[in-house]
Amino acid sequence: MDFDFTKEQLMFKQELIRFAKKEIVPRVQEHDLKGEFDFESFKKLGEFGILGLHFPEELGGGGADVITTVLAGEALGEAGVDGGLTLAYGAHTFLCADTIFRHGTEAQKQKFIPKLSSGEWIGCMGLTEPDAGSDVASMTTTAEKKGDKYLLNGNKMFITNGPIADVAVVYAKTQPELQHAGISAFVVEKGTKGFSAGPPLIKMGVRTSHTSELIFQNCEIPEENLLGKEGEGFLMAMQTVEWDRSALLAPFVGSATYLLKKCAQYAKGRVQFGRPIGQFQATKHKLAEIRIFGEAARSLVYRIAWCKDQGRPLNHLEAAVAKLYVGDWSMAPTFDAVLIHGGYGYCHEYDVERIFRDSRLAPIGGGTSDIQKMIISKLM
């Protein structure tokens, strides 16, 4: 076993942290308060090469391996980039662009990947529906073949980047009478007749990412927008959620490091009972909990990245274990961080309260903790 990163990977991480601290983090607070998506930061991520990091250079990507790609997510978290922007990046790059890259035809890749890699276009992915969340196979959105077109009807719910996306990967049933085997995946472009997005939902956290409903009313799309073959959608969705359970978890690992530094700094400066609160063992205990969570999560997340780099496309158990751990165990450290900051921690000025809110998505998005337990118990 070897847990080391290469020198290049570590240098890349440091460079990205420096970049994010200078170019992105200063705008986080303002956008979080307003609940606005930060287009400028997103564009800058594209310019830095983050949005298409793992795609081949010919398609405008960076040609990076999965470990480096996951490291980028950790770096963003460690720099203090908020959960909203990292979620928007994750949904764009992994849930949308990667699905097109893995399952698209050459023409589809050429058309979409370069523009998604640069950030010129924003992507989203629609799987969840108002009445089909955990139970994906019960989705009711249909795609009916009409000559050389498909007619999409139905609604998708909680779609990250929904209101701002130029491109959506959408799952719909081509054979509604079937469960998983009836699901197919399509690319739908903004402006397509019959396709619209609802207004941004007002959320507890990840407020700089826009989440909305996607509405399909007799939405006509050309047959060349089908990804892969009919009936392959569920498998694609499973491969996609594996990113949800690795790359999208990486910011939580970085965020633990960010929290630890922030809390330690505060604890050294805040004096009560005549001494810095960092001198009380109870404060040290909380700092230790944050560190322990971060280190535990780190190995789990990089294990999946490594598996993917070994060419193992599906790692259900590893992915579910990582998602369950990060989902459930990331709650307590953010609570400790707020407590260390006392009353200030409850106020927006110290961004620990934002991180507390942002983290609450961890056990829900990308498959709830219960669903991970279902997967794990079935695999044992």
Ligand X SMILES: Cc1cc2nc3c(=O)[nH]c(=O)nc-3n(C[C@H](O)[C@H](O)[C@H](O)COP(=O)(O)OP(=O)(O)OC[C@H]3O[C@@H](n4cnc5c(N)ncnc54)[C@H](O)[C@@H]3O)c2cc1C
Q: Which residues bind other proteins (CB under 8 A)?
A: 1-5, 67, 260-261, 263-264, 267-268, 278, 281, 283-292, 295-296, 299-300, 302-303, 305-307, 320-321, 324-325, 370, 372-374, 376-377, 380
Q: Is 370 in the site for ligand X (CB under 6 A)?
A: yes
Q: Give the one entry of other proteins, ligand X, none that residue 206 binds, where binding means its C-beta sits below a cut-off of 5 to 8 angstroms depending on kind.
A: ligand X
Q: Which stretch of DSSP H or E encloses residue 345?
A: helix 342-345
User: Minimum distance between the CB of residue 311 and other proteins, rounded to whole angstroms?
Assistant: 13
- Six token digits for residue 191: 């402006």
User: Minimum distance between the CB of residue 344 and other proteins, rounded to whole angstroms?
Assistant: 18
Q: Is 126 in the site for ligand X (CB under 6 A)?
A: yes
Dist. CA 141–CA 136, nearest whole Å: 11
User: Minimum distance between the CB of residue 326 and other proteins, rounded to whole angstroms?
Assistant: 10
Which own/partner contact pairs does 239-243 have at CB distance under 8 Å and 24+ positions apart?
239/99, 239/102, 239/313, 239/314, 240/94, 240/95, 240/98, 240/99, 240/125, 240/127, 241/319, 241/366, 241/367, 242/304, 242/308, 242/314, 242/315, 242/316, 242/319, 243/90, 243/94, 243/95, 243/98
Window 276-305: contact mask with ligand X (x via CB under 6 A): -----x------------------------
Dist. CA 3–CA 247, nearest whole Å: 17
If the CB atoms of residues 16 and 152 are measured against ligand X, the closer one turns out to be: 152
Dist. CA 205–CA 361, nearest whole Å: 7
Contact 223, 189 (CB under 8 A): no
Contact 147, 101 (CB under 8 A): no
User: Minimum distance between the CB of residue 5 and ligand X, rounded to whole angstroms?
Assistant: 29
User: Minimum distance between the CB of residue 248 and other proteins, rounded to whole angstroms?
Assistant: 18
Considering only 68, 86, 99, 128, the residue that binds ligand X (CB under 6 A) is 128
- Six token digits for residue 363: 């056990």
Considering only 361, 362, 372, 375, the residue that binds ligand X (CB under 6 A) is 361
Dist. CA 186–CA 182, nearest whole Å: 13
Dist. CA 251–CA 313, nearest whole Å: 22
Considering only 49, 163, 345, 365, the residue that binds ligand X (CB under 6 A) is 365
Give the residue nearest to ligand X (CB): 133
DSSP H helices in 175-249: 233-244
Window 142-161: contact mask with ligand X (x via CB under 6 A): ----------------xxx-
User: Minimum distance between the CB of residue 130 and ligand X, rounded to whole angstroms?
Assistant: 8
Sign of CA dihedral 288, 294, 37, 365: negative
Q: Is 91 in the site for ligand X (CB under 6 A)?
A: yes
User: Minimum distance between the CB of residue 161 and ligand X, rounded to whole angstroms?
Assistant: 7
Q: Give the one entry of ligand X, other proteins, none that residue 15 binds, where binding means its C-beta sits below a cut-off of 5 to 8 angstroms depending on kind.
A: none
Identity of residue 190: K
User: Minimum distance between the CB of residue 280 and ligand X, rounded to whole angstroms?
Assistant: 11
If the CB atoms of residues 120 and 295 are measured against other proteins, the closer one turns out to be: 295
Considering only 140, 142, 239, 368, the residue that binds ligand X (CB under 6 A) is 368
- State the residues that interact with ligand X by CB under 6 A: 91, 95, 125-128, 133-134, 158-160, 203, 206, 211, 281, 361, 364-368, 370-371, 374
